[in-house]
Amino acid sequence: MSYNKVDKEGYGEAPKTHKIRITLSSRKVQSLEKVCQELIDRAKTKGLRVKGPVRLPTKTLKVTTRKTPCGEGSKTWDTFEMRIHKRLIDLNAPTEVVKQIIINIEAGVEVELQIRTELFQCEPYAIRKYSRIRRSCTPRDDKLNCDSKTYTSTNCCNQFKSHAELTKCS
């Protein structure tokens, strides 16, 4: 009997879970902490594995300008400062669930998602093969031989991804 077949109605394949990294950045610490706590609470109610929030170092941007617009008078300066705070949250979840979690976010907080697919979760052999094919795709190369397949340099860049996906990850 095959594991891919569905024996009973209502039972199907579970949605694929991905490693998802959420990067939150804001100038206001209170709103950032509030959004982080809301995301973690929503993820835990869905039963997801959550790591974080990881607090990254605060970036401080400074601009120093003269107070007088004309340049006359005493040499007085103003210093303006903007602080950018960042937090990282890692999840293992399907993309549909992540959409539901992130749907309502407070204004002033920027969200960046990074989704890691199965190709990068494989063992290092497949990743090495992927990077080797990618590096050898230069316009100077006429042909690229890889596992008894010959690619020309024009079609190699289009096909290296599918070739790396075909390698066995187990």
Q: Where are the domains of the chain?
A: 18-116, 124-166
Average pLDDT over residues 29-41: 94
Environment class of 93 (CB within 10 Å of its CB; exposed 0-12, middle 13-18, buried 19+)? buried
Is residue 153's pLDDT more than 60?
no
Beta bridge partners, 112, equal 23
Q: Which CATH class is domain 18-116?
A: alpha beta
Query: What is the structure's pLDDT at 161?
Result: 45
pLDDT at 11: 59
Where is pLDDT greater, at 78 or 12? 78
| Cα–Cα dist 116/114, whole Å | 7
Is 0.75 topped by the overall pTM? no
Top-confidence residue, 31 or 98: 31
Residue 13 is predicted with a pLDDT of: 65
For residue 135, is pLDDT > 90?
no
Q: What are phi and psi of 164, to 5 degrees?
A: -70, -30
Q: Quick one: pLDDT band at residue 117, thresholds 50, 70, 90?
A: low
Confidence band of 162 (pLDDT split at 50, 70, 90) = very low
φ, ψ dihedrals at 161, nearest 5°: -65, -45
Please tell me which of 18-22, 77-81, 110-114 the model is most confident about, judged by mean pLDDT: 77-81
What are the pLDDT digits (tens) for 76-110?
999 999 999 999 999 988 888 888 888 888 889 99
DSSP count for the chain of H helices, then E strands: 4, 6
- The pLDDT of residue 97: 87
Least confident of 22-26, 43-47, 59-63, 165-169: 165-169
Contact residues for 119 (Cβ-Cβ < 8 A; gap 6+):
126, 127, 130, 164, 165
Mean pLDDT, rounded, of the chain: 72
Q: What's the whole-number mean pLDDT along residues 122-149?
A: 39
Strand-pair partners of 148: none
